[in-house]
Chain A
């Protein structure tokens, strides 16, 4: 089975030194190796943004889609070949801004795929404009007076919309991130993994240190039950709108917020999707019954 060295292409990534994308790539490569999947077993899709350069850095089948449209593309792939594990990489501006509509509808469609969001709370590729997940009042070149709007709360939205697997990771903790990727790959249904991925060049507020001072793991929280949607929603709201507060005042939970073991996927609802379309033609057809009618 392919090892990390087989999956990783021998290219120098174009990400800035220290970019959170490096750790996200490391975690995903290692989990792909562990999973024992062959190159034919999964497909990868990328949106547009700094993360999207990753399309060149994996020797994986898949492609680099349109800005914001990675999920519909992935849907097309997953429907034509339900045996594939589809892994979608998106950014925050990409997946929660221009692709926000597709995010909500992919959650409710519950197609078996893994949606990984590289959430750096900024438009890095276009030099640092505020993104849909930028903290309120954050100053950026597009918001010299500070962001006016509330940030999108992806975990809260997904939990409220009935998502069957919702997790949040932090690019500064590779081992923890790997455990989230593993569980997301194992999940039968749409898996959201929102990853705080600090942008060292354009986001000088939400840095690695900033997150290290604030994150804690849900699985280490006494009495947290990730199969309880109400509890998940409560946790998703607990700190979200106060991200600018001091480290001792608010903590940011990471880990699996919610999972539904027996989820009903889109594929489950359409019996014809029990196998790839091309396999439908394999069985010889018996047309004698039809001919009897004549």
Chain B
């Protein structure tokens, strides 16, 4: 029986990364992900790895780029404004087909914003983390246990598909403590024959590069990458479903807001409203299959987010006009309450009854 330990979300992210074989962590101080870096500072040396506080977020992501190109498991973490700075390096890693894990413990924006939890980097994570045609695999944990498990999984996904993977957490998940079961440390890591490790005259030398001046060559790399993305969309969509089977109303929420949505769903069920919850685990690839199937059965969808409405666009694309898709959210670092989320569900329930067409 594996032992349960009480950990802060930020610390769990760090410990799981070390157990996943990450030996190179490059960070820069920013609230609210500070504990992650502090934990790495304490633990990484003992694990035989390197923790380095860089001079900037830009330096940190480029150090990840370098360590990853050399074939090692490497990670960086930051919070929203810092992720914007990393965007350039992430785009280069995507262009050079390099694995790596980037953690975003989100806070409110835009600009300097605030330091309270938010989900307002959804677009940035799933649409345009940097310039160019590319995607990250984006995983959205909602508990400290999931933060542990998803980081552990993120390194495998990154290596398997040779691309950067982002964990999209937020200040609430990062700061809270919950019991977790930690995974057994990985002892065997995948071979990386593409890594720049020195060829000793025994093979052609490897080049890690994202520059292709011939348009045809550059287009080929893009086409290959998007074929890989199609395989990922087919194999890696994940979502958790809760009371969805008989639901008239399906709430869609990820990360911290899914916890509040779940409470609201329970309260609504007590009142006799048939409502369920879909919690996207992979934000990219977005779980269009689960949401599409729900749209075939339900009468309305409600998206709940800690922003002004971002994931709701993906939900609408998945629903494709079959049923109305409503949005409820709070921004600026405010966490929606179960009561106001319940009110949003009740408004939809009332409109469904009233308009019994």
Contact = CB atoms under 8 A, between A and B. Distances in A.
The range of chain B's interface size is 20 to 34
Given A68-B56, A141-B38, A93 B29 contact: yes
Given A48-B112, A66-B112, A97-B56, A126 B30 contact: yes
A127 B29 CA distance: 9
A145 B53 CA distance: 13
A97 B45 CA distance: 23
A123 B29 CA distance: 8
A67 B34 CA distance: 16
Nearest to A125: B31
Q: Which residue among A66, A142, A143 has the maximum number of chain B CB atoms within 10 Å of its CB?
A: A142
Interface in A234-286: none
A126 B34 contact: yes
Interface string A97-133: 1101000000000000000000000010111011010
Interface string B29-42: 11100100110011
Interface residues of A, number: 21
Contacts of A100: 55
Contacts of A68: 56
Given A142-B41, A144-B41, A126 B53 contact: no
Contact of B29 (A66, A142, A144, A145): A142
Contact of A98 (B31, B37, B55, B111): B55
B328 interface: no
B121 to A, nearest CB: 17
A126 B29 contact: yes
Secondary structure at the A interface, as helix, strand, loop or mixed, is loop
B122 interface: no
Given A67-B81, A98-B28, A142-B29, A129 B37 contact: yes
Nearest to A52: B112
Given A141-B38, A142-B37, A144-B41, A129 B53 contact: yes
B38 A142 contact: yes
Contacts of A168: none
B90 to A, nearest CB: 18
Given A48-B112, A142-B41, A144-B42, A126 B55 contact: no
A149 B72 CA distance: 24
B49 to A, nearest CB: 13
Contact of A143 (B31, B53, B56, B58): B53
Nearest to B38: A141
Contacts of A132: 55
Interface in B85-139: 111-112
Contact of B41 (A67, A98, A123, A141): A141
A286 B42 CA distance: 71
A64 interface: yes
Interface string A60-102: 0000101110000000000000000000000001000110100
Nearest to A126: B29
A244 to B, nearest CB: 20
A64 B30 CA distance: 17
B302 to A, nearest CB: 36
A282 to B, nearest CB: 35
Contacts of B41: 141-144
Interface in A41-55: 48
Nearest to B111: A66
A64 B113 CA distance: 12
Contact of B31 (A126, A144, A145): A126
A141 B58 CA distance: 22
A119 to B, nearest CB: 15
B63 to A, nearest CB: 14
A281 B41 CA distance: 57
Interface in B49-66: 51, 53, 55-58
Contacts of A125: 31
A100 B58 CA distance: 12
A125 B112 CA distance: 14
Given A48-B112, A123-B29, A143-B41, A97 B34 contact: no
6 contacts: A98-B28, A98-B56, A127-B34, A141-B41, A142-B29, A145-B45
Interface of A: 48, 64, 66-68, 93, 97-98, 100, 123, 125-127, 129-130, 132, 141-145
Across the A-B interface, the 3 shortest Cβ-Cβ residue pairs? A126-B29, A98-B56, A141-B38
Given A66-B111, A66-B112, 12 more contacts: A66-B81, A93-B29, A97-B56, A126-B31, A129-B29, A129-B38, A141-B38, A142-B27, A142-B37, A142-B38, A142-B41, A144-B45
